[in-house]
Structure 1
Amino acid sequence: MTLLEDARRGIITDEMKVVAQAEGVTEDFVRRGVAGGHIVIPISPYRDVKLCGIGEGLRTKVNASIGTSSDIVDIDEEIEKARQAELAGADTLMELSTGGDFLEIRRRVIENTTLSVGSVPLYQAFIEAARKKGAVIHMDEDDLFKATEDQAKLGTNFMAIHTGINWETMKRLKNQGRHGGLVSRGGAFMTAWMLHNEMENPLYRRYDYLLEIMKEHEVTLSFGNGMRAGAVHDATDRAQIQELLINAELADQANAFGVQTIVEGPGHIPIDEIATNVQLQKRVTNNKPFYMLGPLVTDIAPGYDDRVAAIGAAISSSAGADFICYVTPAEHLALPTPEEVYEGVISSRIAAHAGDMVKLKKTRALDLEMGHARRDLDWERQFAVAMNPERARHIRDSRSPADTDACTMCGDFCALKIVGKHFNF
């Protein structure tokens, strides 16, 4: 029996108990959410992980993505990125390598993190075809399912699978066109393969077989967004919506089969379309957990895209998104460093918390505590409540004030000290 099937039978598992305790909700609330397909808890029979509940009524979670490229293959650095992501407070990790020995890299990353790990097995199948046969279009579809199963056996907890790219989706893309092109690597691989071979996407055509693999290895199925916009002017277009509709129907089938599901959302979206995208996605998927990729709200800030995405992620979270994928300052420019991974996680955690302050009112308690600590000039309490205590302490200590109660921003003219002498809050 899978976790989803246990929930439907009324069984509260140990995993559900842990998530309920961490989120401050009842155990039956979590069980009912899992049973209804509104909450997922990515697990694996092959490894123990730091359990993470994603979905309705729970704190917005943050994923950090790492992985080698065809230009830079350094497994030790990827392990360090995983460590930095975990130190910064990421809830999950996606290992998305496109260079080197795929299974060895994933095995070592999994061994060096306690987080749930996700992957995109399509990358391995297509890139190995390019290495062995000269081009991604020569991939054997059986190799695609073998890569999926091999990665599952390593203890991968969730997988982004590009099921929604089919001939109907391709027709919408062709008829409308794109200002920013097709930016999803998985979407590009599968589109090229389909056009060259004049065959339907095997992940869609052999979907029943895919579900058997997911269920056997207890992998949470995250429906990949291969038609996501890579430019704000392509947001909410026909290809994106067509893929969403297909994935929504397939997610219902997966849940009925006993497989937990997440539905991924688009990447570049202007601010005025974010809430609409969240509401649409939630509505057509029957309120499945929504994994928002970004979203980036403008295209003109390379080098600062962690901040661009944080703006979109905060709005997404407040509107009901359950899971956001971080973006680093290096997005669109280079493979991120471990330091940039850390910064990306912090930016996304700030955004998720800001959104939860709207979506889950109870998360405002920490902000209230910080307000009191600042009013009282209690610096140790401020550091304790801060999202990154070490950074806050370092900045203050590096510019120590003459008056240890105040800071060097105000010095002798600290508003709180001036008013505090005459008014008791």
Structure 2
Amino acid sequence: MNYTTQMDAAKKGIITKEMEIVASKENMKVEELRELVAEGKVAIPANKNHKTLSAEGVGQGLKTKINVNLGISKDCPECEKELEKVRVALEMKAEAIMDLSNYGKTEGMRKRIVEMSTAMLGTVPIYDAVGFYDKELKDITAEEFLQVVEKHGEDGVDFITIHAGINREAIKTIKENKRLTNIVSRGGSLLFAWMELNNKENPFYEHFDKLLDICEKYDMTISLGDSLRPGSIADSTDANQIKELIVLGELTKRAWERNVQIIVEGPGHMALNEIESNMVIQKKLCHGAPFYVLGPLVTDVAPGYDHITSAIGGAIAATYGADFLCYVTPAEHLRLPNLDDMKEGIIATKIAAHAADIAKGIKGAREWDNKMSKARADIDWNTMFDLALDKEKAERYRAESKPHDEESCTMCGKMCSMRTMKKILNGEDLNILRD
């Protein structure tokens, strides 16, 4: 039986090879996964032209996935540095990479990432449009925006961020509900500018059916961009954010009718006490579609440490329904992240994702922690290192401060509680003062 997309196959009762791969990774029955894909509650972004992909699922009942942003800009145009980030991100087992390149002809870099990446690849086509056509934003036509989307589909991109929810009605709401930080979404601000400069409707909203034609052709998942996400805790859960979310829910249903998979993007910056309710609202308004959040950052006053403010919010968001976390690095709000920034961002986000998976009861999540705890009780350093989320750092820290007694560490020495309990329970002499 033929099918056009993962969702089309799922609705027809077909088990695809991508579903089998995801089910195996998730320790889930493939039939259970197929039903979730058919309902839109799980997305498997898998462009037909991405031949190196090892498929991942995003959504209900699955492990929380993380995304790594990278890409060239006018100030930092060196492709090789960004491709090195891709290699390291893959080594660190990031499930998704987004190429946010916004300068020059980006096709070459995008194709190289598709060729080398086993992780799913995302892009934001509107970032590419100005360089692709070598035109000012105002002069790009609606048809040309769609042609860029088609090019990304041809190149093998698995999911695309499309800011289709910021329509003329939303702009009216923006002007009537003033914000402290206005529109902080780069794609959203570009579309706002295009609409105002041309006095026209958002081309991705107006021509959403044509967009669906392209995505169905390549089985490209749409990540519905949150143009009006809050960029400060002062602006969270306001009329602008909720207005757009309602539109994104409507677009989700239209996409599903065409068997196009959807992920919905969410906040942003948000105080801790608002996160749970926002996750519930999103899932309700967007019919259980997978939810992808940037953070949320829970305070605005920690530049240089926003991987931490983001991980705090991400752990809470994923506990209450978010399925996909976009990493944030220490360089957020300050500069393009370097390789070390990227590593810190990945680790912080993986910690958040895993903490949430424990809370959600995801299969196998707690077992990892139990193995680490047993290794600590056994004072089995090699096993501890093998189980560590960041093995290199754990080994380096221990090597930098060698204990007198190899069993313990330099924090407690022979007063180590694990050492004490192990020796006493084994009927051995404790021997704290003597060599």
Bucket of the pairwise TM-score, normalised by the shorter protein:
over 0.9
Q: Distance in 2 between matches of 1:257 and 1:170?
A: 28
Does the alignment pair 1:90 with 2:94? yes
Q: What's the CA shift for 1:391?
A: 1.6
Q: What does residue 33 of structure 1 align with?
A: 36
Q: Distance in 1 between matches of 2:82 and 2:375?
A: 38
Give TM-score, length-normalised by structure 1.
0.97
1:153-168 correspondence to structure 2 within 5 Å: 153-168=154-169
Matching residue within 63, 69, 74 for 1:59: 63
Q: What does residue 430 of structure 2 align with?
A: none
Q: What does residue 350 of structure 2 align with?
A: 349
Q: What's the CA shift for 1:424?
A: 6.1
Q: Distance in 2 between matches of 1:20 and 1:99?
A: 38
Say if 2:105 and 2:131, in contact at 8 Å, map to a contact too: no
Say if 2:21 and 2:54, in contact at 8 Å, map to a contact too: no
Q: What does residue 326 of structure 2 align with?
A: 325
Q: What does residue 377 of structure 2 align with?
A: 375
Q: What does residue 222 of structure 1 align with?
A: 223
Q: What's the CA shift for 1:31?
A: 0.2
Does the alignment pair 1:21 with 2:34? no
Q: What does residue 256 of structure 2 align with?
A: 255
Q: What's the CA shift for 1:86?
A: 1.4
Query: Which digits, 9 at most, give the CA deviation of each residue in 1:32-77, with x for residues without a partner?
Result: 0100000011111112202111100000000001011121100000
Does the alignment pair 1:43 with 2:46? yes
Moved over 3 A (4+): 126-129
Q: What's the CA shift for 1:127?
A: 4.9
1:185-224 correspondence to structure 2 within 5 Å: 185-224=186-225
Matching residue within 387, 394, 397 for 1:395: 397
Q: Distance in 2 between matches of 1:35 and 1:368?
A: 35
Aligned residue for 1:292, secondary structure, equals strand
Q: Distance in 2 between matches of 1:181 and 1:248?
A: 22
Measured at CA, do residues 127 and 271 of structure 1 come closer, stay the same or move farther in structure 2, by a change above 3 Å? Answer: farther
Say if 2:298 and 2:309, in contact at 8 Å, map to a contact too: yes
Q: Distance in 2 between matches of 1:170 and 1:310?
A: 31
Q: Distance in 1 between matches of 2:28 and 2:151?
A: 36
Aligned residue for 2:424, secondary structure, equals coil
Does the alignment pair 1:302 with 2:303? yes
Does the alignment pair 1:100 with 2:101? no
Query: Which digits, 9 at most, give the CA deviation of each residue in 1:236-264, with x for residues without a partner?
Result: 11111111110111111101101111011
Q: Distance in 2 between matches of 1:280 and 1:57?
A: 18
Q: Distance in 1 between matches of 2:420 and 2:50?
A: 57
Q: Which amino acid aligns with 1:27?
A: V
Q: Distance in 1 between matches of 2:12 and 2:88?
A: 39
Aligned residue for 1:422, secondary structure, equals helix
Say if 1:377 and 1:405, in contact at 8 Å, map to a contact too: yes
Aligned residue for 1:149, secondary structure, equals helix
Does the alignment pair 1:337 with 2:338? yes
Q: Distance in 2 between matches of 1:127 and 1:350?
A: 36
Aligned residue for 1:59, secondary structure, equals coil
Measured at CA, do residues 38 and 361 of structure 1 come closer, stay the same or move farther in structure 2, by a change above 3 Å? Answer: closer
Q: Which amino acid aligns with 1:342?
A: K
Say if 1:163 and 1:224, in contact at 8 Å, map to a contact too: yes
Say if 2:398 and 2:409, in contact at 8 Å, map to a contact too: yes
Q: What does residue 117 of structure 2 align with?
A: 113
Say if 1:89 and 1:345, in contact at 8 Å, map to a contact too: no
Query: Which digits, 9 at most, give the CA deviation of each residue in 1:284-311, with x for residues without a partner?
Result: 1110000111111100000111111000
Aligned residue for 2:223, secondary structure, equals strand
Aligned residue for 1:421, secondary structure, equals helix
Q: Percent identity?
A: 41
Q: What's the CA shift for 1:398?
A: 2.2
Q: Which amino acid aligns with 2:36?
A: G
Give TM-score, length-normalised by structure 2.
0.95
Q: Which amino acid aligns with 1:209?
A: K
Measured at CA, do residues 162 and 361 of structure 1 come closer, stay the same or move farther in structure 2, by a change above 3 Å? Answer: closer
Aligned alpha-carbon RMSD (Å): 1.4
Q: What's the CA shift for 1:189?
A: 0.6
Q: What does residue 84 of structure 2 align with?
A: 80
Say if 1:179 and 1:233, in contact at 8 Å, map to a contact too: yes
Q: What's the CA shift for 1:142?
A: 1.4
Gaps of 5+ in 2: 428-435
Gaps of 5+ in 1: none
Does the alignment pair 1:235 with 2:236? yes
Q: Distance in 2 between matches of 1:361 and 1:105?
A: 36
Q: Which amino acid aligns with 1:416?
A: M
Does the alignment pair 1:71 with 2:75? yes
Q: Which amino acid aligns with 1:409?
A: M
Q: What does residue 265 of structure 2 align with?
A: 264
Q: What's the CA shift for 1:231?
A: 0.7
Does the alignment pair 1:124 with 2:125? no
Query: How many residues were matched structurally?
Result: 422
Aligned residue for 1:355, secondary structure, equals helix
